[in-house]
Structure 1
Amino acid sequence: MNMMKTMMWGMATALGLAGAPVMAQTFPDRPITMIIPLGAGGSHDLMARVMTSVLPSVLGQPVVVQLMPGAGGQTGTAAAAAAPADGYTLLFTHNFIDQLQQFVTELPYDPNEDFVTVVRSNTAQPVLVVREDSQFETFEDMVTYAQANPGALRFGHSGNWGAFMVPGLALMQEVGADVTLIPYQGGGPAMQAVMAGDVDFTFAFPSVLTGQDLRALLVVGEDAIVEGVPTTSELGYDLVSDIGVMHRSVLAPAGTPEDRLEILRAAFVSMNEDPTYLQLLGRLEENSAMMSGPEFNEMRAEQAVGYKALVESFTQ
């Protein structure tokens, strides 16, 4: 009798489910757009091309890169903030746009209220470089010179409050050196200025150092990515080690359903274990230091504190 009741209940349940309307299709059921608030050919563009060549095989849908440069990253970021919070629009950005800009200009969005982290894809450590024939053999030589000659050391960087100004400014503050900051329209022009002797030093990512007549003096961050060159962490420079490293992050509009965020996060984790992806990263000389969304959300808040203090110290 009990078995008969169980069978009848199972049949009724099955029939009821069969007659119920389908509530939603599995996410994603159409292409996802990844907005990059930077121009073509840069490291973010190259990284995005690598990610979007692997992610479709995990998600089952294309991931389309949309370059939206302008206003120092604000144009693309604002577009992503205004997009529907449905998981179909992502922002691939970095910490200097995401968390620093709020302290140097009025933004048309709130980075802390309008976005949530999907993942931190990886990090990029800037390297302090001089010309091969520079008088500075070591970073200590440079510090000694700068401390003895306030304002004489010329620092060429890629633009105000960008990926190379921040580590340079933080570093010089930590060592107590007064240098002259000279902005250029991007890392390429800043590097050309070093090679021409117009400035004494700049920063660059390791991928552009090969074949250049440059001498690396210091790596920002913890990992010794250039053989024989000390890191800021090794030398005890804590501030620049915390806020000078570029953290590439994938963000989604705030309010994106948690179940969709989890699907996206799982897809990025799978991507990060894919042999093809890792091989392509190696060609770009990029690491695979992925961090979970919730963990990086906490780091974003910590970075904001450091950036606020840095901006205030520079503008007072």
Structure 2
Amino acid sequence: MFRKLWKGAVFAAAATLTGAVSPALAEYPEKPVTMVIPLGAGGSHDLNARVITSTIPSFLDQAMIVRLTPGAGGQKGTQEVANSSADGYTLLFSHNYIDMLQQHVENLPYKPMDDFVPVARINYAPIAVVVRADSPYKTFEELIEAAKAKPGEVRMAHSGNWGALFVPAAQIMKARDAYFNMVPYQGGGPAMQALLSGDADLTMGFPSTLSSLLASGDVRVLATAGAERIYPDVPTFGEVGVEGDVGFMHRVVLAPADTPPAVLEKLEASFAALLEDKTYNRMMSRLGENVDYMSGADYQKMREEQAEAYKDLVDSITQ
């Protein structure tokens, strides 16, 4: 009798122990989370992601790892995440042009609305037109005059067709009846390096990529997006004859569409918690970036509006 009772206790204990470590009962996340950036190194997404991944582990209870996967104007990395397991361990750090605009100009290997769900919008950034400090173009008007006088000779480095640098450039060319020679690179970082090395005459950039270059005196900003001036002596797009919604990039975290609600809730709560983190806010301020969080549900509403607006935008640019 004693032997039977003892064996039964052992089996019960083993069953309890097995249940305690069962994957089905484990709490997400059990391992590091990978955040794929579909762009090259050194761009604003890369710089913003370094701040996020250095501070979010305190709230996520796991490390977050950046993986840069540039190619095909952002489609390579985006497809990688679309094809990944919907378990919360592979996320996409993208922007509105890749997410909602490209579907109107190309047959994509994925369906943005069907294959992804927003986790959070991290912030948004106004773009700036940039030349080297030794450029002969001292003002935006001088740049436009050159592009009109010699169509195709003024080379602009950008981050890929219909990307965050390409779209505002196309809007500027249409608004001012000018033409740049558009040269693609695998992200904003490589595009900026092309400018600095002399392979391009201009590019565009965001505050995080420009702050150190302006401090070192390597570049000159000729115009910026937004209703108000970012730099006191630099005009806005509206002041130089480029009206409308031009040059705003929303940085968004997306997950595969079938990611479990509990996982999405944990992720969203972790990103939202960054708003109250002093280190995160200080590091973002040093980058020159704003902190303007939006929940996944709220950004989804904006995303649906973007899908419609970008169809009209593409039509206006290509006609």
TM-score (norm 1): 0.78
Cα pair distance change 1:170/1:157, threshold 3 Å: same
Does the 8 Å CA contact 2:96/2:251 hold for their aligned counterparts? Answer: yes
Q: 1:6 maps to which residue?
A: none
Q: Could you tell me which runs of 5 or more consecutive residues in structure 1 were left unpaired when the two chains were aligned.
A: 1-17
Q: Secondary structure at the match of 1:112?
A: helix
Quick check: 151-160 or 74-83, which moved more? Answer: 151-160
Q: 2:43 maps to which residue?
A: 42
**Percent identity of paired positions between Structure 1 and Structure 2:** 46
Q: 2:177 maps to which residue?
A: 177
Shift of 1:65: 2.1
Cα pair distance change 1:170/1:264, threshold 3 Å: same
Q: Secondary structure at the match of 2:25?
A: coil
Q: 2:81 maps to which residue?
A: 80
- Cα distance in structure 1, aligned partners of 2:132 and 2:180: 18
Query: Which of 298, 303, 308 is 1:305 aligned to?
Result: 308
Q: Secondary structure at the match of 1:264?
A: helix
Shift of 1:248: 1.0
Does the 8 Å CA contact 1:160/1:183 hold for their aligned counterparts? Answer: no
- Cα distance in structure 2, aligned partners of 1:295 and 1:165: 27
- Cα distance in structure 1, aligned partners of 2:70 and 2:182: 23
Alignment length (residue pairs)? 290
Deviations 1:203-252 (A, max 9, x none): 222333312354322111345332332333677855343xx212111001
Q: 2:262 maps to which residue?
A: 259
Q: Secondary structure at the match of 1:45?
A: helix
Q: 2:191 maps to which residue?
A: 187
Query: Which of 270, 274, 286 is 1:271 aligned to?
Result: 274
Does the 8 Å CA contact 1:73/1:97 hold for their aligned counterparts? Answer: yes
- Cα distance in structure 1, aligned partners of 2:261 and 2:239: 39
- Cα distance in structure 2, aligned partners of 1:50 and 1:38: 17
> Where does 1:131-146 land on structure 2 (aligned, <5 Å)?
131-132=132-133, 138-139=139-140, 145=145
Shift of 1:306: 3.4
Shift of 1:314: 3.8
- Cα distance in structure 2, aligned partners of 1:256 and 1:134: 49
Deviations 1:232-287 (A, max 9, x none): 3677855343xx21211100111222232222111111112211112222232222
Quick check: 106-115 or 126-135, which moved more? Answer: 126-135
Q: Secondary structure at the match of 2:113?
A: coil
Does the 8 Å CA contact 2:140/2:240 hold for their aligned counterparts? Answer: no
Q: 2:232 maps to which residue?
A: 227
Letter paired with 2:235: P
- Cα distance in structure 2, aligned partners of 1:64 and 1:271: 17
